Chain A
Amino acid sequence: MPSPLPSWPSLLVATGISKQFGGIQALSELSFEVGRGEAVGIVGPNGAGKTTLFNCLLGLETPDTGSVVFDGVRIDRLPVWKRSRLGIGRTYQRMELFRGMTVADHLLVSEQASSGTFRFWRDFLNRGGPTPGELHHVQEVLDLLGLEAMADRPVDGLDLGHARLVELGRAMMGAPKLLMLDEPSSGLDAGETARLSTVLASLRSARTTAVVLVEHDLQLVESAVDRLCVLNFGRMLASGRVDEVLADTEVRRAYLGAGG
Chain B
Amino acid sequence: MTQFFNYAVPGIPFGCVFALMAVGLVLTYKASGVFNLAFGAQAFVSALAYVSLIEDGWPRWAAGVLAVFVLGPVVGVLLDRLLFRRIRTASPLVKLVPSLGLLVALPQLALIIAGSTPDIPPPALFVNAQRVYLHLGSVPLSGLELSITGSTVLVVAVLVALFRFTPVGLEMRAVVESPRMTELAGVNAGRISAFAWILSSVMAALAGVLLAPLYSQLDPQNFTVLLVWGIAGAVIGRFSSLPLALLGGLFLGVAQQIVAGYLPAGIIATGLRPSLPFVVLLIFLPFTRQRQFDDPLAGCDPPSATVETETLGYRSATTLAGAGEDDVHAVGLWHRRLGLEGPDAWWYRFVRRPTSTLAWVLAALAVLSALTWVPADWLLTMTQGIAFGVIFLSLTVLTGMSGQISLCQATFAGLGGFAAGQLADHFGLPVVIGMVAGGLLAAALGVIVAVPTLRLAGLPLALATLAFALLADNILFPNSWVGNGASGVIVPRPSAGPVNLSASKPFFLLSLAILSVTAGIVKLIGDGTMGRFLAAMRGSELAASSVGIDVYRLRVVVFAISAGLAGVGGALFGSLEGSLSPTDFNYQISTVLLVVVAIVGLGSISGAVVAGLVYTTLQVAVTTLPSRYAGLVAVLFGLATLSYTRHPEGFLDYLGNRTLTFIARNGAMSRLMGRSGTGGRGQPPRNEGAGNPDGDVLVPTPAPGGAT
Contacts and interface: CB of A to CB of B under 8 A. Distances in A.
A84 B543 contact: no
Contacts of B173: none
A156 B538 CA distance: 14
B329 A154 contact: yes
Contact of B705 (A95, A114, A130, A152): A95
A109 B524 contact: no
Contacts of A109: 532-533, 535-536, 544, 547, 549
Contacts of A82: 550
A94 B705 contact: yes
A120 interface: yes
Interface in A175-216: 186-187
Interface string B375-408: 0000000000000000000000000000000000
B338 A170 contact: no
Nearest to A129: B334
A152 B532 contact: no
Given A92-B543, A127-B524, A135-B337, A156 B530 contact: no
Nearest to B683: A157
A254 interface: no
Contacts of A124: 524, 528
Interface stretch (A5-13, A100-108, A237-245): A100-108
Given A110-B547, A187-B708, A101 B529 contact: no
A79 interface: yes
Chain B interface extent, by class: 35 or more
Interface string B529-565: 1111101101110111111111110000100000000
Contact of A128 (B312, B524, B707): B524
B313 interface: yes
Nearest to A174: B548
Most buried by A among B525, B546, B698, B708: B546
A60 to B, nearest CB: 8
Contacts of A156: 329, 697, 703-704
B329 A128 contact: no
B696 interface: yes
B330 A102 contact: yes
Nearest to A80: B545
Contacts of A159: 701
Contact of B339 (A152, A154, A187): A152
Given A123-B525, A123-B529, A130-B334, A98 B704 contact: no
Nearest to B701: A157
Given A110-B548, A151-B339, A157-B699, A120 B705 contact: no
A57 to B, nearest CB: 12
A186 to B, nearest CB: 7
B177 interface: no
Contacts of A80: 545-546
B334 A135 contact: yes
Contacts of A158: 704
Contacts of B329: 100-102, 154, 156
A113 to B, nearest CB: 4
A160 B705 CA distance: 9
Interface string A57-90: 0101000000000000000000111101100011
B700 to A, nearest CB: 10
Interface string B281-323: 0000000000000000000000000000010110000000000
Nearest to B315: A100
Chain A interface extent, by class: 35 or more
B697 to A, nearest CB: 5
Contacts of A58: 546
Nearest to A104: B335
B306 to A, nearest CB: 15
B525 A113 contact: no
A101 B536 contact: yes
A176 B327 CA distance: 30
Contacts of B543: 92, 96-98, 170
A260 interface: no
A15 interface: no
Given A84-B546, A90-B546, A101-B539, A155 B704 contact: yes
B600 to A, nearest CB: 19
A105 B524 CA distance: 17
B315 to A, nearest CB: 9
Nearest to B554: A118
Contacts of A30: none
A97 B338 contact: no
A102 B545 contact: no
Interface in A131-165: 135, 138-139, 142, 151-160, 163-164
Given A81-B549, A114-B548, A104 B532 contact: no
Contacts of B538: 98-100
Most buried by B among A94, A114, A173: A94
Nearest to B312: A100
A125 to B, nearest CB: 9
Interface in B654-708: 681, 696-699, 701, 703-705, 707-708
A206 to B, nearest CB: 21
A93 interface: yes
A98 to B, nearest CB: 3
A110 B545 CA distance: 10
Given A58-B546, A84-B548, A109-B536, A101 B331 contact: yes
A84 B531 CA distance: 20
A47 interface: no
A187 B707 contact: yes
Nearest to A166: B704
Interface string A217-257: 00000000000000000000000000000000000000000
10 contacts: A58-B546, A84-B546, A95-B708, A124-B524, A128-B524, A128-B530, A160-B704, A160-B707, A171-B547, A187-B707
Interface of B: 310, 312-313, 327, 329-332, 334-339, 524-525, 527-533, 535-536, 538-540, 542-552, 557, 681, 696-699, 701, 703-705, 707-708
Interface of A: 58, 60, 79-82, 84-85, 89-90, 92-102, 104-105, 108-110, 112-114, 116, 118-120, 122-124, 127-130, 135, 138-139, 142, 151-160, 163-164, 170-171, 173-174, 186-187
> Lowest 8 CB-CB distances: which A-B pairs, in order?
A128-B528, A98-B539, A123-B528, A154-B329, A163-B704, A96-B543, A113-B548, A104-B335
Given A100-B310, A105-B331, A187-B708, 17 more contacts: A84-B548, A89-B546, A96-B540, A96-B705, A98-B535, A98-B544, A108-B334, A109-B535, A113-B547, A128-B529, A128-B531, A138-B338, A154-B329, A155-B704, A163-B704, A170-B547, A186-B708
